[in-house]
Amino acid sequence: MAGAPVDVRVAGGVIERVGPGLPAVPGLEEIDGAGGIALPGLVDAHMHLDKTFWGLPWRAHEAGPTVRDRIDNERRLRRELSLAPDVQAEALARQAVSRGTLHIRSHVDVDTEIGLRNLEGVLAARQRLRDVVSIQVVAFPQSGVVTRPGTAELLDRAVRDGAELIGGIDPAGIDRDPAGQLDLVFDIAGRYGAGVDIHLHDGGELGAIQIRMIAERTRALGLAGRVSVSHAFCLAMVDEAEQGQLVELLVASGIAIMTTAPGDRPMPPFRRLRAAGVRVASGSDGVRDAWTPFGTADMLERAMLLAYRSGFRTDELLHATLDAVTRGGAEVLGLEGYGLGAGDRANLVIAPGESLGELIAMRPPRALVVSGGRVVARGGHCVI
């Protein structure tokens, strides 16, 4: 049930006090939350802001079923459509803000065909929206690293230009050289103190071996707490005993897991990971792009999908999914001042409902989204 109503007093973009019946302060603007539920700004820990077709007419999905089919199809579409990455990134980030997301980690394609064009676009959008939403950028070698000479140099440059993390993709499945790709990626990360976030779709034992290789390099470079594995389907494809070993390894190495609650692929063991102490985040991944027709950049919807995919029904388990799109995501992104306590950044979203469980079940339009103490969205629409 809902707790007693409280007031939240904000000064200088920071929460100063939270409590019932705070006295009005002359000159301080009052905003009515209408008795809704306040959450800290939602965290989308895995997007692709540069890829989206958001704002364009509907485009039927036409890629084949494999990762390689989708990469090739996207490269073709990218040439045909030649969209402006800054415009697309800003359009999708604004949509995310309208749904209460105030922190995004976006992978951004870097390859030998487009160079750093998409990176420059996302960095420009990030700059324009810097007072509204925080955006972490992962330089993402969508087309491979080892098999595309010149990519490692571009990744290196991307980090110097403003990407906080280096990405990777199926070091075995795409590059057929897991040690080669991981060494290149971790070498750059180690050199600049950047984080690492690897897309790992490779399944079963092939994926599990790569988790071990990522852990080895994370520990060798002292990058605990700075490395994530996105998707990690393999964690759900090995036997119980090996899954336990891998979970322990993730804990010991300080590696986080990001899952989107994939519809037709194995999902990492959400409860087991969290119970063991692995940081678990979630994200939209692609939103209405060459990879998928789906997505609305709504992290309450993502929490519902996590619950739906996991067979969760109780409030306690629904709360766990909400945690993955709030506090858990904030931990993975390494956000400071995150929360609803005094001294935290005044980033919050207010939605009508009686309980947190109901919020996930209903995903009501966000009544208010407040960033740094300023209303940035109202009634499900950006107002900035």
Residues lying near Zn ion in the complex (CB under 5 A) are found at: 285
Please identify, using beta-carbon distances, which residue of 287 and 369 lies nearer to Zn ion.
287
Residue 242 CA from chain centroid, whole number: 27
CB of 199 to Zn ion, least distance (A): 5
CB of 110 to Zn ion, least distance (A): 14
Please identify, using beta-carbon distances, which residue of 283 and 357 lies nearer to Zn ion.
283
Quick one: the chain helix, strand, coil %, rounded to 5?
A: 40, 20, 40
Tokens matching residue 44: 């989308």
Look at the block and give the residue holding tokens 């087309």.
143
Please identify, using beta-carbon distances, which residue of 51 and 217 lies nearer to Zn ion.
51
Residue 71: CB atoms within 10 A of its CB come to: 20
Please identify, using beta-carbon distances, which residue of 262 and 339 lies nearer to Zn ion.
262
CB of 230 to Zn ion, least distance (A): 6
Please identify, using beta-carbon distances, which residue of 74 and 285 lies nearer to Zn ion.
285
Cβ-proximal residue to Zn ion, closest one? 285
CB of 38 to Zn ion, least distance (A): 30
- Rounded to whole angstroms, what are the CA distances from 319 to 46, 79, 297, 306, 324? 20, 43, 20, 11, 9
CB of 142 to Zn ion, least distance (A): 9
What is the Cα–Cα distance from 356 to 359, expressed in whole angstroms? Answer: 5
Instruction: Specify whether the CB–CB gap between 158 and 188 falls below 8 A.
Output: no
CB of 286 to Zn ion, least distance (A): 6
User: Could you give the count of Cα atoms lying within 13 Å of 112 in the half-sphere of its Cβ?
Assistant: 11
Please identify, using beta-carbon distances, which residue of 285 and 323 lies nearer to Zn ion.
285
Please identify, using beta-carbon distances, which residue of 285 and 289 lies nearer to Zn ion.
285
Picking from 3, 7, 8, 16, the residue whose alpha carbon sits closest to that of residue 337 is: 16
CB of 349 to Zn ion, least distance (A): 24
